[in-house]
Amino acid sequence: MKLHVFVHDKPVATLESTDGFRHVLTYHPDIDPAEFVSLLMPVRTESYVWPELHPLFRMNLPEGFLLSVLQEQLGPHVGASPLNLLAVVGRNTIGRIKVAAPGADPTRPPVPFELAKLLHGDNSEEAFVDLVRRHAISGVSGIVPKFLSPDTFNEHGKGALATAHHIIKGTTARLPGVALNEHLCMEVSRQAGIPTAVTEVSDDGQALVVERFDYEADGITHKGMEDLCSLLTLRPDQKYESTWERVVGRIKNVVTNPAQQNAALSHLGDLLLLTYALRNADCHTKNIALLYSSRENIELAPVYDMLTISAYDDYAKNPPGMSIEGRSTWRPGKALQLFLQNRCGIMPSQTKARIERICEAVVTVSPQVLEAAEHHTYFRETAKRMLHAWNSGMNSLRLQKTWSLPSIEGILSAAHFSDMKPLAAPSREKVGRSPLLSKR
């Protein structure tokens, strides 16, 4: 199969695989160097050969349960290889790149009705909306309600759906109140003065709308976007297999303008501190990205996918998603301050000021957490755990005993919370064990 690759809707390269494993990207002749496909693949005459799908394109494929649904549902019709799936979802990738099969119009909405026709024999708008509601398909846009009902998403994990200017996420039984959780964590980031994606939560608190930030100021032209998982040439399932040091190293390799590099590392330092303050154990290389208009204009993307994941049973005992100075613990001690100074150029006095600013933001947003818990009974246990996690996170950022930091101890005390429910026992389901075997 051969696909066409577009930058700002202009064809610039072909992508093909003859054996399903080795993938080849070849630029068209006389392409402007500014029309590069990836920061790792500047324009050149020699093809870029990768043993599997190139990292940038892997970044834009769905993951996890959604990927398995697409493979199962679309496989009999179009094949289930990464290249086949990219042909289906490639017209709604994040950033300025689009991928389409020969003859397809890259400016069209990415096959919403074609998907519905493939799966149901019906290419009506109603069929597509029904398809989205049942499978929570991301990577395609089209006719979708602004807020999706809770049954749009299934029990297997978080659902997400991308539209032209928004990403819509839902809540699941495994992660009660996750939309509110993320919205309130993003509000802490905004209150701290950190560049943050714009979010809005539905009235029932069950859906989160995130405004896409991969646009220029005109709201029409897409910026390029590549996450650190892609830039480190990791597969999506390797998103945790990195360190904050490797992230800094790749940013320094890619962002060569000194002023922009310093700005990106400064922003990264804020993101790291926020991760510890909010106990986000799910901060990994796919949740950090670079945005760019050109090679001369690169910045760290606004904070996104920030939430207190440790408020949920399955993640409560998880360490940070990436280690720092060899330490994977919520009590990093001097390692955190040394990392910020030596890797990001943030001096100790600046670190203290940033921690104070984040703690003040936590204090400001904490009453909103209590208010949300009052309005949404399903969120109460999550809200309670969030505030306790935030309190622990703030305390862990007191890197020197002499520091006096803003606190939510008074808010927690006045809330008169009941005791937190004990953590649920982790699932110990044994896969592949025959029911005919006797029990041990």
pLDDT band at 245 (very low <50, low <70, confident <90, very high): very high
pLDDT at 129 over 50: no
Please say whether the beta carbons of 382 and 177 come within 8 A: yes
Q: pLDDT tens digit string along 388-418?
A: 999 999 999 998 888 989 999 899 888 877 7
Is the pLDDT at 19 greater than 60, yes or no? yes
Proportion of the chain above pLDDT 70, given as a percent: 78
DSSP conformation class of 403:
-
Q: What's the mean pLDDT when you consider all of the chain?
A: 83
Domains of the chain, residue spans? 1-102, 224-415
Tokens representing 115?
Answer: 């998907």
Task: Choose among 235, 319, 332, 334: nearest CA to 283.
Answer: 319
Q: Predicted confidence band at 132 (pLDDT cuts at 50, 70, 90)?
A: very low
DSSP structure string for 254-281? H--SHHHHHHHHHHHHHHHHHHHHTT-T
> What is the distance between the alpha carbons of residues 65 and 70, in angstroms, rounded to a whole number?
9
Where are the extended beta strands (E) located within 93-206?
97-100, 160-162, 166-170, 199-201
In the predicted structure, residue 110 carries a pLDDT above the cut 80: no
Contacts with 75 (C-beta within 8 Å, 6 or more apart), sequence order:
84
What pLDDT does residue 34 have?
A: 96
Contact between residue 150 and residue 163 where contact means Cβ atoms under 8 Å apart: no
Average pLDDT in the 251-258 region? 96
Signed CA dihedral, 166, 172, 178, 179: sign only: positive
Mean pLDDT of 229-245: 95
**Measured CA distances, 434 to 153, 425, 426, 428, 438 (Å):** 31, 23, 21, 15, 9
Q: Identify the residue with better confidence: 429 or 211.
A: 211
Instruction: Band the pLDDT of 77: cuts 50, 70, 90.
Output: low
Position 108 confidence tier, pLDDT thresholds 50, 70, 90: low
Question: pLDDT at position 89, please?
Answer: 76
**pLDDT range class, residue 425, cuts 50, 70, 90:** low
277-313: pLDDT as tens digits = 999 999 999 999 999 999 999 999 999 999 999 999 9
Percent of the chain with pLDDT over 90: 58
| Contact by Cβ (8 Å): 181, 172 | no
Which range is least confidently modeled, 36-45, 66-75, 262-271, 431-440? 431-440
CATH architecture of the region 224-415: Orthogonal Bundle (1.10)
> Worst-scoring range by mean pLDDT, 24-28, 165-169, 243-247, 262-266?
165-169
Which residue(s) pair with 291 in the sheet? 225, 299
Q: Are 83 and 104 in contact (CB under 8 A)?
A: no
Q: Does the pLDDT value for residue 33 go beyond 90?
A: yes
Q: What torsion do the CA atoms of 255, 258, 260, 262 make, to the nearest 10 degrees? A: 100
What is the tens place of the pLDDT at every residue in 341-364?
999 999 999 999 999 999 999 999
Query: CA-CA distance, 196 to 200, in Å (whole number)?
Result: 12
Instruction: Evaluate whether 102 touches 2 at the Cβ level (below 8 Å).
Output: yes
pLDDT at 246: 98
Of 418 and 118, which is predicted with more confidence? 418
